[in-house]
Amino acid sequence: MRQTFLLLILAIIVVSLAVGAIYLVLRSLLDVYDDWQTGKEMKELSQESSDRRGQRQQEHEERLQNGCDHQWEGSLVDFPPGACNRCGLEKELPSGPCDHVWKVNMQEQPIVVCDVPKAGKVWPCCRRQG
């Protein structure tokens, strides 16, 4: 009886070790599959991101092609940094709703204001530069 009991305990230990090993193998296979899926999704996101970046770059280049031979520096009037002294368009697209087009406003002293009207008004995001 004692020998049967010990054999039963030994069998339970062996079976539990086998089940644990099978569990670990299946768990590692599941982790490998999850990593593969994550890698696949990351490649898709990276491709979408590079496509959007290229599209934005192309839109930016088209935005600057307005027939002006842009001059970004060297003006008699103090234009904001990165604004063309001839057409007033900024080199980089500003964040916000207004694509600033700077013009010289001759008053007592020349100042530069954004000249993008909306229903006859100047956008509130634009402020005078002087």
Name the percent of the chain in helix, strand, coil, to the closest 5. 50, 15, 40
pTM above 0.95, yes or no: no
43 vs 82: CA distance, rounded Å: 35
Domain range for 92 = 70-130
DSSP letters, 111-129, are: EEEE--EETTEE-TT---B
- What are the structure tokens assigned to 119, written together? 């229903």
User: How many whole angstroms separate alpha carbon 77 and alpha carbon 83?
Assistant: 11
Average per-residue pLDDT in the chain? Answer: 79
Are residues 23 and 1 located together in one domain of the fold? yes
- Total structural domains within the chain: 2
Same domain, 127 and 87: yes
Per-residue pLDDT tens over the stretch 43-77? 999 999 999 999 988 988 888 887 887 777 766 56
Separation CA 100–CA 129 (nearest Å): 12
In this structure, are 44 and 99 located in the same domain?
Answer: no
Q: What digits encode the pLDDT tens for the residues 69-93?
A: 777 776 656 667 777 777 777 777 7
Of 25, 44, 65, the domain-final residue: 65
